[in-house]
Amino acid sequence: MAWILAVLTLPAAFYAHYRLPEYSEGKAALWFTRLFLIGLGLGFGWAVSVRYFPVMGEWNQLWVFLSAFGVAHIPAAGVLLIKHIRRHS
C-alpha cells in the first residue's frame, strides 16, 4: 500500500526540479537549491523509512522512502506552482 503514496508524491519532486531553472538566478543558485532539496528528501526518506518503520519488509521500506522523498518536495513544488500561475496569468 505504500506504493500508492509514492506514486502520488513523487511527481511533486519531478515538478519541483523541472520548474527550478525558471526561477533560479544563475547556475550556482540552481545547483545549491537542487542539492538542498535532494538532501532534504534523502534525509526525510531515511528518517521515515528506517527510523519509524524499521520492521517493514525491504520493498515496503523502499516505497515508504520514496513517498517520504516526494513529500519533502511538496512545499517547494507548491511554491513553484503558485509562482508559475502568477507569472502566466
- Concatenated DSSP letters for the chain? -HHHHHHHHHHHHHHHHHHHHHH-SSHHHHHHHHHHHHHHHHHHHHIIIIII-TTS-HHHHHHHHHHHHHHHHHHHHHHHHHHHHHHT-
pTM exceeds 0.85 for this model: yes
pLDDT digits (tens, 9 = 90+) for 44-81: 999 999 888 887 778 888 999 999 999 999 999 999 99
Count of alpha carbons within 13 Å of 58, Cβ hemisphere only?
0
